[in-house]
Amino acid sequence: MSVEHRPQGPLQDSPFLRACRREPVPHTPVWFMRQAGRSLPEYRQLRQGTGMLESCTRPEMVTEITLQPVRRHGVDAAIYFSDIVVPLKALGLDLDIKPGVGPVVAEPVRSEADLARLRPLEPDDVSYVSEAIGMLVKELGDTPLIGFAGAPFTLASYLVEGGPSRNHERTKAMMYGQPRLWAALLERLARITSTFLQVQIEAGASAVQLFDSWVGALAPEDYRRRVMPASASVFEAVAGYGVPRIHFGVGTGELLGLLGEAGADVVGVDWRVPLDEAARRIGPGKAVQGNLDPAVLFAPREAVEEQAGRVLESARGLEGHVFNLGHGVLPDTDPGALTALVEYVHQRTAR
């Protein structure tokens, strides 16, 4: 597991991987969270008649969906098309992704007995992932592929609530009221997530992003005591591969330093904190990723470029900046606006 899998040659010298390692780049690399998926008509066409989780188990479909935004927008990295609940589904949990709702868990996890259902993930449980990534790295050539997993807190919220939750009441009730059960749940999820990322790296992913979508709902002290140990063990489990580890959650202004401390090499930032201030909070030795407000893409092109320019301005002088949105591409985004944005960032930062 701790073998050095770092690829050699032009892939390793791609602007994205160089920026993650805080090395000089020919232009600021760009990719978009949720670039693969719902905003693209070619995606919606391909997905017709296939459920979300079903589509994640079909290597050809995953490969095509992952490649679509690379072809269309000319982004500097591909992100493996998946969903954060894919490894949980692979364990045999009864869950589904309902259109317009999100992941729904038939039997929420709320007791010690429920933990038994969270057995360790075996690489064979997700052989379709290895297969898809094998196909993808051939197709992508020198374009890096970012592996993808949900972080323990966000997975726990779905499992405890039984679905998406605005306020995470039951999750927090367990966190505060049953701290031992909570810690055991997070530890199991950390192991599952670690295996899921190891599988992706061993199959050829040249970076990974750990999404902790909802972690911004926590105060810093609770994150540090009750969540960070689990996230840190995931980063530690993939440290030996030498691939950049990106960490992101929305609304995490108060947590940026801790997200880095958990073990990330690159910390994703939403649009609420300017990148120079974010870098100050994260501290030295880490790259930053972000942070254009995805809602800006609904404004005219001139306004998009003004705001994107502001992001680039705030990143000037930072060691290692990967341009991205401050959250996922919104479903109704005009794909043309994304393509134009990639061009703008490339031109504006060409050295």
Active site residues per annotation:
34, 38, 47, 83, 158
Specify the residue for token string 């890096």.
Answer: 144
Output the smallest distance, CB 224 to a copy of itself, in A. Answer: 12
Output the DSSP codes for 8-20. Answer: -TTTTTSHHHHHH
Output the smallest distance, CB 274 to a copy of itself, in A. Answer: 7
- Of 34 and 89, CB closest to a copy of itself: 34
- Of 243 and 256, CB closest to a copy of itself: 256
- Of 106 and 219, CB closest to a copy of itself: 219
Round to whole Å and give the CA distance between 331 and 298.
Answer: 11
Phi, psi of 30 (to 5 degrees): -130, 135
Round to whole Å and give the CA distance between 163 and 103.
Answer: 5
Residues near a copy of itself (CB under 8 A): 167-173, 175-177, 216, 218-221, 251, 253-254, 271-274, 293-296, 298-300, 303-304, 306-307, 310, 330, 332
DSSP letter assigned to residue 351: -
Output the smallest distance, CB 25 to a copy of itself, in A. Answer: 25
- Of 122 and 306, CB closest to a copy of itself: 306
Output the smallest distance, CB 294 to a copy of itself, in A. Answer: 7
- Residue 244: helix, strand or coil by DSSP? coil
Exposed, middle or buried: residue 82 (CB in 10 Å: 0-12, 13-18, 19+)? buried
Cβ atoms < 10 Å from Cβ of 4: 8
From 252, 241, 173, select the one nearest 211 (Cα to Cα): 252
Output the smallest distance, CB 168 to a copy of itself, in A. Answer: 6
- Of 51 and 179, CB closest to a copy of itself: 179
- Of 119 and 225, CB closest to a copy of itself: 225
Q: Given CA atoms 72, 74, 78, 79 in this order, what sign does their dihedral have?
A: negative
Output the smallest distance, CB 44 to a copy of itself, in A. Answer: 19
Specify the residue for token string 């892939």.
Answer: 11
